[in-house]
Amino acid sequence: MRALAEAPQLLLHYTGIDYNFIMSWDYYGKEWSEIKSQVPFKQLPMIVVDDKYEICQSIAILNFIENVAGLKLKNPIEEAKASSILQSAQELFLPLNPTVNFAVGNDFKKRRDDMIPFLISRFEDLEKILKSSEMKFFIDDTPRACDFAAFHHLDLSKKLDDSLIKKFPRLEEFLKDINSIDTVKNYLSQRPELIDVSIEPKLVIDGKAHSTGTTKT
Ligand SMILES: N[C@@H](CCC(=O)N[C@@H](CS)C(=O)NCC(=O)O)C(=O)O
């Protein structure tokens, strides 16, 4: 699925840290259902550092990458603000990401219609912060974990309903600014495309369409 591994990958590309993206079934050589119980907190994404340290929870992964890259804010107030934006952006994960990646037909429509008031409310909050910061990104002119997390969910919302983001010109400008970072643009142009949303969602990997889900295809 296109979900919580996106912001860490955007941040890794932005900071120029090398990594390999590996599907769980290729890493473990077993279906996800068979190895899920061995994974700390039984969910993905997980980053494996030095072939040894397994770090789960997307916010912890993002914090780790920021620390390694020297992107952490020194000012505790600014750091708390960035953390609150990151958490608020990540709260968009549910119900947005599973709906876009998996739901079809009337189920998709019902889920979409039910979540729109929440999305609008959270988009309003995010737009207000950006407008008040008078900076390019949420904290300053450097994109950080909170920016890439917000980017992922705002960008994914276009696949739910592409008219939503158009109500928020400052958020659209923010998406454009993130998109115009060369390393990020390069990653975005090469990542698997998510197609047939609401019909039969698939990710196109190396030219082949794979059904979204937790089984190897
Ligand atoms: N709070 C966790 C949520 C992780 C999560 O929901 N992971 C989903 C995919 S994005 C997952 O592993 N689903 C498969 C499963 O639960 O078996 C995080 O931020 O990393």
Q: Which amino acid is at 31?
A: E
CB 10 within 8 A of CB 184: yes
Ligand 1 mean position, distance from CA 3 (Å) = 9
Residue 81 and residue 170 in one domain: yes
Q: How far is CA 69 from CA 17, 22, 60, 62, 204, in A?
A: 8, 22, 14, 11, 30
What pLDDT score was predicted for residue 213?
Answer: 97
Residue 95 and residue 176 in one domain: yes
Residue 105 and residue 157 in one domain: yes
Unique residue bearing structure tokens 């609008």 = 120
* 185 lies in some domain: no
Residue 140 and residue 156 in one domain: yes
Residue owning the nearest CA to atom 18 of ligand 1? 57
Pocket mutation for ligand 1, best pick of 27, 38, 44, 93 (most atoms within 8 Å of C-beta): 44
- Give the span between the Cα atoms of 174 and 128, in whole angstroms: 12
| pLDDT digits (tens), the chain, 217 positions | 999 999 999 999 999 999 999 999 999 999 999 999 999 999 999 999 999 999 999 999 999 999 999 999 999 999 999 999 999 999 999 999 999 999 999 999 999 999 999 999 999 999 999 999 889 999 999 999 999 999 999 999 999 999 999 999 999 999 999 999 999 999 999 999 999 999 999 999 999 999 999 999 9
Q: Please write the tens of the pLDDT for every residue from 98-120.
A: 999 999 999 999 999 999 999 99
CATH number for position 112: 1.20.1050.10
Residue 51 and residue 14 in one domain: yes
Counting from 1 in the atom list of ligand 1, the atom nearest the Cα of 57 is 20
Counting from 1 in the atom list of ligand 1, the atom nearest the Cα of 36 is 17
Residue 152 and residue 87 in one domain: yes
Q: Please write the tens of the pLDDT for every residue from 198-208.
A: 999 999 999 99
How many domains, in total, are found in the chain? 2
- Give the span between the Cα atoms of 61 and 56, in whole angstroms: 7
Residue 63 and residue 85 in one domain: no
Helix (H) or strand (E) holding 82: helix 76-90
Domain that holds residue 17: 6-69+190-211
Nearest to 92 by CA among 9, 157, 162: 157
Helix (H) or strand (E) holding 208: strand 208-211
Residue 28 and residue 122 in one domain: no
* 216 lies in some domain: no
CA 107 distance to own-chain centroid? 23
Total-model pTM: 0.98
* 1 lies in some domain: no
Residue owning the nearest CA to atom 15 of ligand 1? 43
